[in-house]
A and B are shown apart, each in its own frame.
Chain A
Amino acid sequence: MQRHASPARRGQIQFGETIMVVVVIVFILIVGIVFYFNASKASVEKQIRTADQAQSMTVVNNILSLPEIGCDPSVTTGRCVDLLKLKHLAGQINCGSSDPTSRYYCSLFGAGLVTVTIVDAPPASGPTSFLFYNSSLPNSTATDSQFRFTTVYDPVGGEQLFAYFNVSRYQQGVTFG
């Protein structure tokens, strides 16, 4: 025998179906939005990584072109970095401090870690590697080391030394494979 729903029950069925349709559509839209934003996030992370690599090279270029650490013009008129100036400038940069020198260089170079290694340093000239610059971010890790080989001028020995700059960028909460 066919059962007939009462008017109240039939009304519940109508309303319930409408809600279900809306819920399904909203669900599909949410899934779409989540997919879209995940895809966007992956694309942004890739762009950040590419920009960071370019930024690392810009940082080294910036360091090498700083006029305040350039060689005496009597040494060379071309691009040249004075080792003693480089070390003494490094000693003035402390990104945790708010003095004008630190503010300028930390703003110019951004979050990163730069070490200088003198490859053919004379034994008497002290450490062959020193930290030039370090500005970290909270909860971050240094990633993607980039190396740039160059020469630096040692005014004491009066010779050009082979050296390289190692630049890493700090990434906050993002780890790349």
Chain B
Amino acid sequence: MARHFSRPALSKAGQIEIPFHWIFALVGGFLFLLFFFVLIRSVVTSNQQRDTADLTLSVQTILLNALTKPGEFTVSDLQSASYRFVCERDAAGMLSYVRIGQGSYDPSQLRYVPFFSPSVVEGDQLFTRTAVWKAPFPVSPVLLVSNNRTRYVFVGSAGSLPSIRSFIQGEGLDGFNTFVASSSAMGAVKDEGLDQYRFVFFGGFADPGQAFKNATALNVQLSADGTSGTLTFYDDLSCAGSCGVAPRAQLTVPFVGTAMLDAAIFSQDSSAFRCGFAKMEERLNTSVTTLLGRLDDLSSPSTNVPQQCKALYGQARQPLQDYETDPLGAFSSVGGNPSAAQQIQTIQRRLAAEGVCPGAY
């Protein structure tokens, strides 16, 4: 059978007619489409990655800026997204970072910052406030993060409500979504469809009596001066009031300084608190080393500081060394002896009474 080849034909003098092959058009068209498909896809992907990176940078900047403004409550508007705050242990210690949606995360700057927040914050706003942890000397900033979709329900006896309100105001927590309820009127607290509820009981835990979305609780036993006490974490209230099983306490720890209490209130749960507090302890060690070096300088014979001050600086070293050996133990008095924290306050008062002595801490 004769085979027919399509080949250029001569129509007019000097003109070559090239036969049109559909297969070339199809292959060429397919390659064009494939190329543009790949190009557009890579541009869209890189734009999404850039948006996520920009947003991550924005959140990091907001949080780091908040660190520079202790005591200031800030509301930051952001692109609506799901912000996941993570604190976990890795080979180098405790690691914190923020992750937006399913995007990648950058742990470089927030890694060791002690910040406390719900694990997920949804929406287009971030509320931040930085407290300063004092032991009793200033140790570390404590960054508190939340938004208006997380409600903090403070519960106490009817007589304690004024002092709870003044605590909220004094700590600058009134900008957050807070609600104060008497323990005898817990029924007034309703699930309003927010993302999560954090119950903070002063003086005694009580079952909320109904299930709240993502509810957790903290029970606070305050000491007489209101700056120390005991914290008990209840990490799961999912079946409160319905299972017939009382919520179980996960962790009980002492606390010193209201910033540590704030940290516990804003922690998602006991493990998040432990993770963040491990960083606060590291900062405590740094502060102690700094203060010991400073005391050496102030006590140095070459320093023009009155002799009676130098004698007190010598006494000021011991309580600081107690912090180095047992950071949390330094807050508790044993056998009627004053704790390291109490000794520090005493020495500070004596230095102030001298009238000419620079403070020891």
Contacts and interface: CB of A to CB of B under 8 A. Distances in A.
Contact of B358 (A2, A51, A98, A158): A158
Interface in B43-64: 57, 61, 64
Interface string B339-358: 00000000000001000001
16 contacts: A4-B10, A5-B8, A10-B16, A29-B35, A65-B68, A68-B286, A69-B290, A75-B359, A84-B298, A92-B286, A101-B285, A101-B289, A108-B113, A155-B359, A156-B298, A156-B303
A72 B57 CA distance: 34
B361 A62 contact: no
Contact of B8 (A10, A62, A73): A10
A150 B77 CA distance: 31
Contacts of A145: none
Chain B: interface size category: 35 or more
A104 B112 contact: yes
Given A13-B8, A58-B68, A68-B139, A18 B113 contact: no
A42 B283 CA distance: 40
B111 A107 contact: yes
Contacts of B132: 67
A103 B297 contact: no
Interface in B158-216: none
Give the secondary structure class of B's interface.
Answer: mixed
B285 A67 contact: no
Given A103-B112, A110-B108, A62 B285 contact: no
A107 B10 CA distance: 76
Chain A to chain B: the 3 pairs with minimum beta-carbon distance, closest first: A72-B359, A88-B293, A67-B138
Contact of A85 (B8, B67, B291): B291
Interface string A34-70: 0000000000000000010010001001101111111
Interface string B285-302: 111011101100110000
B85 to A, nearest CB: 16
A54 B64 CA distance: 12
